[in-house]
Structure 1
């Protein structure tokens, strides 16, 4: 019998190793092989989940997989999805870092707090600005109260009054309102945006911002493939997307520069507290303290301290994007739900008219009630919470990387380096916690009416995940609730 040639043996060996590495091991031997597969190809190919994401079906498809297979499913050879409170606590409480997926949120070539991969650098950035978004600061901020007053009565109500009698595009209106509110808190009222009055630029800006969304897939899911294609002259991301990103960055840099110039020249003599650039001031101060106290020893030495101007702008554009979009989405869905339920409108309006001041436009000098008084309104709170539950503004997957050497999730041993994530779309649709989860039922949050036991209330609150959880949850959650609270009362009253 003739012996096989050395080259042929080499080829066969490589083929056998490839079959073992890419099929036999992940399908039958890997610790992940014990986890239910969301699709039959998941153990040996990521193509199924990549196509699902490319076609914008991930939320619905993964939710269906969890309903069928349970709280933990395998979606790719090195990726799992979770949907239970215990898993959320494990993954998002700390120790599970972010990865390259978040690099798309870098701006000006430098990271911001949200895009930082590692907890240490994230924490250092968060310390600089977290106090500006704390609940106590939101309740007591004279600047924020003055800004809200000016935007609501000086811009929003006149825009509504002058709208076409046939109707109004509330999506456009709410996005403009939340943008003006967000940038006013960041840069001061006079140096923030004025989208409520500058309709032409508002629509241009929103077209730029929202038009890019279909072009993020390759950057987030296949970054190395994207780089390779770029090298050989294949452009998977259109040039107009790069141009849009550049214009949005230039616009935010202009807001930063104008606000910093104001802080140097006019802030000391300006008596209008609404012009106080609260967030920008805190960030500049925080970077200054970090530089003075730690210098080259700081974990931010190579980023925020080295590229201070760009790092400030990167943080600010991230707040601009997250702050206006999430609140704008929530208010749009909330308006839609209210438009379908006139009795609920009447109940909510009656509750709001009990406030002092009650925000009636018939008053000669209408005032906004305090944040504390608005927070104490049970029906308003219930309507907001149910909107955030059913229409989470960030409903999709929030991936993390499992730590080495391994961890335990859902009773399974998961090796380090595995991508794992949860999505609010599924977390908020647990029928055992939220009966009839696809129904808008604000009474879930009215403890005097729903008859829930103490344990049911605790479970309801545990499963609420609109702002994520843990040390890297949304830093602006209190600001978001504040921004949404006074807007509807004003419109309804």
Structure 2
């Protein structure tokens, strides 16, 4: 009798759950597949298959700009929703999803839940990331050296094939570490051949890293337990690890922590003063900490907070820049895009602008080249480095988005991937076409462009990222032409972003974390 009663109670609960989810919940009026509305594990399966973002895009094509993708999650794809959710002062906050990006157990600019917390931290850093600081300050000089080292690498390779997935990661690592720490206390020299610094990226290159992210998102407590075992238990659980140790960014996080310790030691010993670090992010944070100590208790920003903040910027600055540059080099190396590369080469070779001491165009000069800007924008549109959903929630009560009532606490999100494939804004959206961004046109494309997010949470490193890309691309194509290496034809490079693989969908084959190109010297065009 008791088992029957338990079974009946369970069945009743199941029926009620299904009825409530599909017919009573205010979100039941939102279109979408019933399987997604009933359980979050349906979307988790797409995550495991590395197809979440493409699947959601197909659902938008089927159901329209508003789709229910989970019991408590709704995805949007309209300009009205973009302004409502991500606009300045919208009231929407980040969700617990972002806690997985904490470093050393401390929150940082990327993980703060409220806009108030985010805003306070951003005030300390915004000036260092401003356009003027990046284009004309110490950052511009450091970038000139980073670009020079990459050009030296190309020269050393000679006619050898170049795996630009790896070499551009070296360039990206050096650029962000020197910007954050300066060359003496944490800057790297991977591009120049430092094997220890190159080894920092070994776990980043691992193909299993996306599985670890899946576990961290969907089974966070289990994942934390598995990776914190020691002794005999560590050996027993090793076969169960989604990614064998060292896990993704282990070496990079250790490097970032040591850089903070090196800086603290130099400051305490008097070998270094905060004024000498004024051109670095870590210097600005330590300067703020010192000022706070003089005026009262050291509250809110201790050494580990500084380490976490810098490490977060380091982690965010590696893959994003490297992957975008890789797709740009690859896309304009395709035979069908030869005309794009030639037009770009003519512009950068004939450009009139300031040169650095290595005879490369300065970041300020490259920022004024319209076709180079168009090529980069088109790369960011089609191959956005963070193309997946950016979840938010409205904690203060129900709200209305695109005509649908959204209860408080509902996770809402949008993705650059879907926004950038809107056929009204971008005809033939899978075609790489920089001409979308040139000539006389309305601002429709600009309104749908969302590679750096928007509002108060817009990417703080936008100007630094653009400067890195414009300066390196101009330097390379002033001296070289690129083609697809033999054996890599009809193959798209595939990059990992969170728990997904992103590719060029027009190619029949993919190669994960690999992109083979040939670089050949060309003739500089005289004015």
**TM-score relative to the length of structure 2:** 0.81
Q: 1:247 to 1:205 in 2, by over 3 A?
A: closer
The correspondence for 2:329, drawn from 311, 322, 335, is 335
The correspondence for 1:213, drawn from 196, 210, 213, is 210
- The match for 2:407 is 415
Shift of 1:184: 0.9
Matched, 1:460 2:454: no
- The match for 2:160 is 166
Shift of 1:229: 8.0
The correspondence for 1:381, drawn from 373, 384, 395, is 373
For the 8 Å contact 1:184–1:277, the answer to whether it is kept is: no
- The match for 1:196 is 191
The correspondence for 2:251, drawn from 247, 250, 260, is 247
- The match for 1:23 is 18
Q: 1:187 to 1:224 in 2, by over 3 A?
A: closer
Q: 1:234 to 1:129 in 2, by over 3 A?
A: same
- The match for 1:95 is 91
Q: 1:28 to 1:244 in 2, by over 3 A?
A: closer
Q: Please state whether the residue corresponding to 1:321 is helix, strand or coil.
A: helix
CA RMSD in angstroms, aligned pairs only: 2.8
Matched, 1:40 2:34: yes
- The match for 2:469 is 484
Q: Please state whether the residue corresponding to 1:189 is helix, strand or coil.
A: coil
- Aligned equivalents of 2:451, 2:85: Cα separation in 1: 16
Shift of 1:188: 1.0
Q: 1:266 to 1:158 in 2, by over 3 A?
A: farther
Task: Write 1 or 2 for the structure with the bigger share of helix.
Answer: 1
- Aligned equivalents of 1:99, 1:295: Cα separation in 2: 31
Shift of 1:383: 0.5
For the 8 Å contact 1:329–1:393, the answer to whether it is kept is: yes
Matched, 1:445 2:447: no
Q: 1:36 to 1:292 in 2, by over 3 A?
A: farther
Matched, 1:256 2:253: no
Q: Please state whether the residue corresponding to 1:43 is helix, strand or coil.
A: helix
The correspondence for 1:325, drawn from 319, 326, 333, is 319
- Aligned equivalents of 1:269, 1:256: Cα separation in 2: 13
- The match for 1:108 is 104
Task: Write 1 or 2 for the structure with the bigger share of strand.
Answer: 2
- The match for 1:426 is 418
For the 8 Å contact 2:60–2:66, the answer to whether it is kept is: yes
Shift of 1:223: 2.5
Q: 1:156 to 1:461 in 2, by over 3 A?
A: same
Q: Please state whether the residue corresponding to 2:37 is helix, strand or coil.
A: coil
1:323-354 deviation per Cα after TM superposition (whole angstroms, max 9, x unaligned) = 12111011101101221233322222222233
For the 8 Å contact 2:423–2:429, the answer to whether it is kept is: yes
Q: Please state whether the residue corresponding to 1:110 is helix, strand or coil.
A: coil
For the 8 Å contact 1:177–1:196, the answer to whether it is kept is: yes
1:372-409 deviation per Cα after TM superposition (whole angstroms, max 9, x unaligned) = 33221110110010000010000111111232321111
- The match for 2:281 is 279
Q: Which runs of 5+ in 2 are unaligned?
A: 479-527
Shift of 1:258: 2.9
Q: 1:470 to 1:292 in 2, by over 3 A?
A: farther
- The match for 2:344 is 348
- Aligned equivalents of 2:37, 2:249: Cα separation in 1: 37
Deviating more after overlay: 388-397 vs 399-408: 399-408
Number of residue pairs aligned between Structure 1 and Structure 2: 463
Matched, 1:147 2:151: no
Structure 1 moving runs of 4+ over 6 Å: 5-11, 227-235
